[in-house]
Amino acid sequence: MSLQFLLTAIVVVIAPGTGVLYTLAISLGQGRRAGLWAALGCTVGIVPHLAAAILGLAALLHTSALLFAAVKWAGVAYLLWLAWQSIGQGGALAVTEERRAERPGRIARRGALINILNPKLSVFFLALLPPFLSGDPHTAAAEMSALGGVFMALTFVVFAGYAAMAAAARDRLLASARAMRWLNRSFAGLFAALAGRLALERAA
């Protein structure tokens, strides 16, 4: 594994996206432990796309306009639902003082769905991993699996860091009703914006 791959993966993982946004929202609303479950769920959601890239199924997804559109619009609908959950009364992602932590499995499941319903992730792995392979077709699958495993580990570590930082600021933010309203509206707006961006994506 090259240093170049590590640096590339770290830059990609750190960049804010739907997974980071979800982890921050959960951590601010429900605490650090809940944020770690969100990070784990987002990490697990990478597995189907990594497997698709290794098995060559990702190419099928991006050559089938119907299949790509089906996954994409499911993802758009899910992100819009998360936007509503950020501002709706009693919404799962709303940051409120009375919020109690949900069951870990429920938090992780939502995080996993965020990545599973993003069809661009599979083409991302098709583009990211091959340049760092040795070129030996007999070891390509094993090498892609190893690189994908490193990428997933980095994802969890970085997202866990985001969760810790958000949880550390939680008490101060919950002390201000104005800050909570601003956060909820911001999260809703960002989820809606990401839904709009995904809606504009096209199969490669």
138-151: pLDDT as tens digits: 788 888 899 999 99
How many helices (DSSP H) and strands (DSSP E) are in the chain? Answer: 10, 0
Say whether 113 sits in a helix, a strand or coil: helix
Q: Which of 2-6, 90-94, 108-112, 156-160 has the lowest mean pLDDT?
A: 90-94
Domain locations along the chain = 17-91+100-199
Q: Which residue has the higher pLDDT, 107 or 79?
A: 107
Determine contact, residues 121/201, Cβ cutoff 8 Å.
Answer: no
> Which among 145, 197, 150, 136 is positioned nearest to 10, based on CA atoms?
150
Convert the pLDDT of each residue in 16-73 to its tens digit: 888 999 999 999 888 899 999 999 999 999 999 888 888 876 566 566 677 778 777 8
* Tokens representing residue 128 in the block: 């990211």
Distance CA 70, CA 72 (A): 5
Q: Is 157 left (phi over 0), alpha (psi -120 to 50) or beta?
A: alpha
